[in-house]
Amino acid sequence: MSLPAAVRLLRSTLRTQLLPVANLSSKPAKHVISGVDKTIAMTAFFVAILGPSGWVLSHLEDYKNKKD
């Protein structure tokens, strides 16, 4: 394949790429979420994600010394 043919192939592939379109909305939210609800949700996420990893890290020595 010659260089001009390779350049044409590269140009055609770059020219035909489709860009995804984001569905953005400028309307206000349908449901207003209070600060208390947001706090409860963030706390639940924090405990669900970081709780198990904290448990494992705090008991790491127990897992190392476990003799079966």
What is the per-residue pLDDT across 21-49, written as a single tens digit (0 to 9) for each? 777 777 887 889 999 999 999 999 999 99
Query: How many structural domains comprise the chain?
Result: 1
Cα angle 63, 66, 68 (rounded to 5 degrees) comes to 140
CA 30 vs CA 8, 33, 40, 42, 62: distances in Å: 50, 10, 20, 20, 50
Confirm whether 59 is domain-assigned.
Answer: yes
Confirm whether 19 is domain-assigned.
Answer: no
Confirm whether 15 is domain-assigned.
Answer: no
Q: Domain limits at 53? A: 32-67
Confirm whether 53 is domain-assigned.
Answer: yes
Q: Is the pTM of this model over 0.85?
A: no
> Considering the chain, what is the average pLDDT of its residues?
84
